[in-house]
Amino acid sequence: VISATHCNLEEDMQQGQFRRDLFYRLSILRLQLPPLRERVADILPLAESFLKMSLAALSVPFSAALRQGLETCQILLLHYDWPGNIRELRNMMERLALFLSVESTPDLTPQFLQLLLPELARESAKTPIPGLLTAQQALEKFNGDKTAAANYLGISRTTFWRRLKS
């Protein structure tokens, strides 16, 4: 059995809110994974993977234009808080795939994505614009991952290096 929770089961067990015998039956191997919002560098590869799988299930090819569209929309995806974690990302990509299976040639733009996935639009209104971060701040946010920091800022790695040096 593979399961996930946001609760502290040991604490719940101590308070009598979770059965002790069930806890020990399930507690063979425990992995602590940070939430998706703390693993920002994983968001774009996961989004592409989920979209590819969803499109394949619908017999729709994943094109270079779709990959480019995802890259264009990366600011929205990277700035969203993902309260539903990886399940929410997978569900959004499935919703996008369903739309793409009917409407085969939409331009995958941030505006289009915000219409199709309104939760991204609501969140982006609350999120500071990445251009206001310095290259150094973005680098710190992504624990030294230069590619993720450049993607977050919406600039190339070369431009990121120039900003970092200045």
Identify the CA nearest to 120 among candidates 64, 69, 78: 78
What residue numbers bound the domain in which 14 lies?
1-32
- What is the structure's pLDDT at 118? 82
What average pLDDT does this structure show over 133-142?
78
Q: Are residues 51 and 81 in the same domain?
A: yes
Task: Report the distance separating Cα 146 and Cα 140, nearest Å.
Answer: 9
Q: Are residues 55 and 83 in the same domain?
A: yes
Q: Are residues 4 and 58 in the same domain?
A: no
- Asked if residue 151 lies in contact with residue 44, where contact means CB atoms within 8 angstroms, the answer is yes
Q: Are residues 50 and 111 in the same domain?
A: yes
Question: Helix H segments across 8-73?
Answer: 9-14, 20-26, 40-57, 64-72
Task: Report the distance separating Cα 51 and Cα 17, nearest Å.
Answer: 38
Q: Are residues 73 and 1 in the same domain?
A: no
Q: Are residues 57 and 108 in the same domain?
A: yes
User: Over the stretch 67-122, which tens digit does the pLDDT of each residue have?
Assistant: 888 888 888 888 888 889 999 999 999 998 998 888 766 677 777 777 888 887 66
- Using 50, 70 and 90 to split pLDDT, how confident is the model at 160? confident
Identify the CA nearest to 62 among candidates 46, 51, 75, 77: 51
